[in-house]
Amino acid sequence: FEGSNPVLLQLVAKGLLTEYRHQFTGNKFFGIVKFLTKQAAVVLSEQNPLTTRNVDVSHLRDPEFHLSALRYREDALLVSAARRLKSRLDKKIDSFQAFNEVQDHLCTMAMAHIERKILESFQKAVEKAPNAEVKTVLRKLCALFALTRIEKDSGWFLESGLLEPVKSKAIRLEVLKLCAEIRPQARALVDAFNFTDKILSAPIALGEVPA
């Protein structure tokens, strides 16, 4: 049980809340200013009327757009989770009960943090690719990862005003385009993990279509 995903997500959430609390203790004023300045910069760039409905392929595949979207989601979920917890603690609700009441929010926040960290690491790895051909394929794969995360949580992004419906639809279509573009390299990408054919097992995974 201790190794199950919900428990691990709760541990991540507790760590993030502790970090958040420390950010506003001690030199509290400057910590708040730094945080709000960073958050406001993302809001201004992402909620610009032109940006929220920008459907240009160059923008939809822009690593900066991907990272800023996932960063904003993580920050916003962290702030709102902290507020929900504080409101319960202010009402003298037991801390264990308060934590349980917002558990779904905390697990969502933890996953947002994990996905942002994965994307950051992925983007850094792409830039270190050994040659231009590999970098091109990995850049598409990285964009596919980012856009599928945004598409999966499109409801939240729409409610937050970071996307308009036309852009949300464009992202869904771009995911399909990227899947088609990456498909020819799918076997090579899987082989990079050195899985045996026995592990892959299904003929379709080996590029074989049954008669």
**Structure confidence by residue, pLDDT tens digits, 29-87:** 445 545 555 655 555 455 565 578 899 999 999 999 999 999 989 888 888 888 888 88
Whole-number pLDDT of residue 29: 44
| 43/1 Cα distance (integer angstroms) | 39
Coil vs helix vs strand at 47: coil
| Residue 31, pLDDT score | 54
Choose between 211 and 115: higher pLDDT.
115
Specify the amino acid at residue 186.
A
Sign of the alpha-carbon torsion through 70, 76, 79, 84:
negative
* Dist CA 84 CA 113 (whole Å): 18
- Reference 141, options 210, 208, 88, 66; nearest CA is 66
Arithmetic mean of pLDDT over the chain: 82
Higher pLDDT, 95 or 33: 95
What is the model's pLDDT at position 13? 80
Query: Has residue 206 got a pLDDT over 90?
Result: no
